[in-house]
A and B are shown apart, each in its own frame.
Chain A
């Protein structure tokens, strides 16, 4: 049991990375469909690597204002594992999600979009105490430790966190 689990996880992770890579080939590719179980897959795919997951929404004004700042950060930090999740309570047109990200210079980042209307379940899987407010940034360290930045993120805080991650012993 103990030996099998990581192999399954690695396999699932490889599949996901392949899917993400495929999605990134075209800048205007549709976001990955975020549905029940997606959070676990996303976590597995990035396990052991410091990862920043930014939840935003097309129906969230402050999110749209903030997005280009994430585009700048991504340009500044080539090694940044940034995952964008469009968490609108009602599924949005995939083309609009990808076009909005492309405009913010985030076209190459891993992108997901809620496509399941049972949003209570999606949020619960991510964090039972999350009532759905956007934007929201979740930073996961190599050891799995999670830091949450609710609202528009202070990118100085994100940079400090990223620096601490690169210095942290592996």
Chain B
């Protein structure tokens, strides 16, 4: 067992070294991400982007050993290598795994989002199909299973831009698009636009307020090109609710921050957001909570200090616990810092370091099983790690 773990640890950095060699010779960008999901039987599924391929591996021993990679994209693709892009995976209550990912269609960062699924416990994946028929641009797609087991996907879509510009109207950013699947991710129904003019290059966060009630957090474009965060909570599967601004940071920027937020909903219905901003009102990484759907978010609480580059927050509600992680840099090492709340985000433990690394790293991810939260983190030096939060399991 230990030997296998070591092997995996060695394999991953070797892959990165090969990728870096490619940089030198071809200068191509390499995606370097691992996104986790637990299946109903407790199996850990990981979707990884390795160069120009998307592969899935599984572990039945909490990340100590993994199955051989199974390709979701057999042919090499120009995967979206943006710093906030990643392939996603969700496993439904019957053990069907749905993967989403995007490719670049051109050199102007227009994307095309795809989905594929496995109904044979990861032995094979269906041929990837576009998430939507429109070909303008889709990026930052994400997939999640609602509490009733229905598959929801959301992404940033640029379909409304060309028509607006043709009519002489400006169209900043993209639109928040979504679709549902009623056949466990085999097909997705018609695309709907929840709202226009979101920021176009930050990942989305999704949580559920109940069955058929996704809540999506995203960087919005407020008047004056202010790119602050907002949450839209659906009142039913077809009705996105009003936009609820998380915080007035006043980050006016005509650019792409490539730094998306995270959202969790606690059992009492309270909403929890974490995000990065460089606004005039505040700079750095922040957390805020709202008592319920649509309620005003409370005052932002700073996570760490701006001179430690705090970044890439992730929130997860599991049982009675709310977990919050982010990464920061002390001039030598990047650390994943963790806080936990057991009173629905009213008070939090002091931040502690869960893991660190001395080189490049993916964004930290959280995943939960049997009431326990885990940090899922891919780093260049150490390879992939799954670490139980709050001590060994």
Which residues from chain A sit less than 8 Å from chain B, CB to CB?
Answer: 59-63, 89-96, 115-121, 123-124, 128-129, 131, 133-135, 151-152
Tell me the count of chain B residues lying within 8 A, CB to CB, of chain A: 33
Does more than half of chain A's interface fall in helix, strand or loop, or is it mixed? loop
User: In the complex, what residues of B have CB within 8 A of residue A63's CB?
Assistant: 255
Query: Per a CB cutoff under 8 Å, which of A90, A94, A115, A117 touches B380?
Result: A117
Contact (Cβ within 8 A) B360 A118: yes
- In the complex, the answer to whether B253 meets A115 with C-beta atoms within 8 Å is no
Q: Out of B26, B83, B253, which one reaches A89, CB within 8 Å?
A: B83
Specify which chain A residues have a CB less than 8 angstroms from the CB of B278 in the assembled complex: 131, 133
Of B46-54, B124-132, B143-151, B306-314, the stretch lying at the interface with chain A is: B306-314
Q: How far is the CA of A94 from the CA of B254 in the complex (A)?
A: 25
A119: which B residues are within 8 A, CB to CB? 360
In the assembled complex, the CB of B13 is this many whole angstroms from the nearest CB of chain A, namely 12
Interface positions, chain B 358-378, Cβ under 8 Å from A, are 359-360
Interface residues in B19-57 (C-beta closer than 8 Å to A): 20, 23, 26-30, 32
Contact A92 B29 (CB under 8 A): yes
Whether the pair B258, A89 counts as a contact (CB closer than 8 A) is: yes
With A90-B29, A91-B23, A118-B359 as known contacts, state yes or no: A151 contacts B334, CB within 8 Å. Answer: no
Q: Which residues of chain A are near B259, meaning CB under 8 Å?
A: 131
Total A-B contacts with CB atoms under 8 angstroms apart = 72
Chain A to chain B contacts (Cβ below 8 Å), 21 pairs? A59-B256, A62-B255, A63-B255, A89-B83, A90-B30, A90-B82, A90-B83, A91-B27, A92-B27, A92-B29, A93-B28, A95-B27, A117-B360, A120-B309, A120-B311, A128-B331, A129-B307, A131-B306, A151-B253, A151-B255, A152-B254
Q: Looking at the complex, which one of A59, A93, A128, A133 makes contact with B27 (CB distance below 8 Å)?
A: A93
Interface contact B256-A61, CB-CB below 8 Å? yes
List residues of chain A with CB within 8 A of the CB of B359.
117-118
Tell me which residues from 250 to 309 in chain B have a Cβ below 8 Å from any Cβ of chain A: 253-259, 276, 278, 283, 306-309
Cβ of B171 under 8 Å from chain A: no
Q: Smallest Cβ distance from B234 to chain A, in angstroms?
A: 31
Q: How far is the CB of B61 from chain A (nearest CB, A)?
A: 30
Residues of A close to B348: CB separation below 8 A: none
B152 in the interface (beta carbon within 8 A): no
